[in-house]
Amino acid sequence: MNFEKKRPSRKQREANIARAQKQTTSDPHTHSGVRLQKVMADAGLGSRRACEQMILDGRVEVDGHIVIELGTRIDPTKQRLVVDSMPIETSTEKVYFALNKPAKVVSSMGDPEGRRNLDEFVRDRTERLFHVGRLDYETEGLLLLTNDGDMANRLTHPRYEIPKKYLAQVKGPVAKDVGARLREGIELDDGISRVDSFKLIDSQPGVALVEVILHSGKNRIVRRLLSAVGNPVLRLVRTEFGPIELAEQRQGKMRQLRPEEVSELMKAVDL
């Protein structure tokens, strides 16, 4: 369920708030606790701002008490959090993984069409994991997974401009001015997009290997940019996400990030 996008109607919001004002259960505020919107963001319910709006809309209950005050603090290890009548896991133990996603795997925890998806790689984990951004069905490479919703939201937020590096095998030849054009910006259907860096790695008759670095999170952006300059992608692999590198990690394998890697990610998003 996408809690961030599922805002109730004005009539329902007014009814929720009226119910909150009439409730008789005790206030769940815990002075030594964590701000409710942070607990919600950490649980992957959306950005902190989106979680604040959920609270103001009367969609959040703690220990059976509808909470509409943004200053509320709770103990996520002891108190029961419910959003839109759905219990939310608020475990405070955070985990961070790097997956080398194969091609023809959907970047979701399930697929109505029965295609391979991320559940195949995380089904043995007890945590409620979610992916940081996504890779399209055909794209391979580095995908981060975590139960730290706050970090996941920041890593995908345009404000932090997290760079991603890709290796792309494309149809050649690659014109000499392609790098300059991509850095300057290409007009696509959804506006102008540009890369941070472009490098020709190797060139053979009819095919070339290029490296692209960019921080845009637009859908299929690397494929669309390279197609727009006349070099459609034959194979695409993400090799880096911010400070995290794929390196020699085997395809289909998931590994837990080292403490220093987690620290680098936190620095990148001001945590």
Catalytic residues: 136
Closest CA to 133 of 210, 209, 244: 244
Other beta carbons less than 10 A from residue 50's beta carbon: 17
Contacts of 157 (CB under 8 A, 6+ apart): 47, 269
Contacts of 123 (CB under 8 A, 6+ apart): none
222 secondary structure, DSSP code: H
**Is there a contact between 150 and 271 (Cβ–Cβ < 8 Å)?**
yes
What are the strands, taking DSSP E only, across 185-225? 186-188, 191-193, 197-204, 207-214
Task: Tell me how many helices (H) and strands (E) the chain has.
Answer: 8, 17
Ramachandran angles phi, psi of 234, nearest 5°: -100, -35
**Is there a contact between 78 and 39 (Cβ–Cβ < 8 Å)?**
no
Q: Which residues of 153-186 are buried (b: 16+ CB within 10 A; e: fewer)?
A: bbbbeeeeebbbbbbbbbebbbeeebbebbeeeb
**Is there a contact between 196 and 163 (Cβ–Cβ < 8 Å)?**
yes
- Residues 224, 241: Cα–Cα separation, whole Å: 19
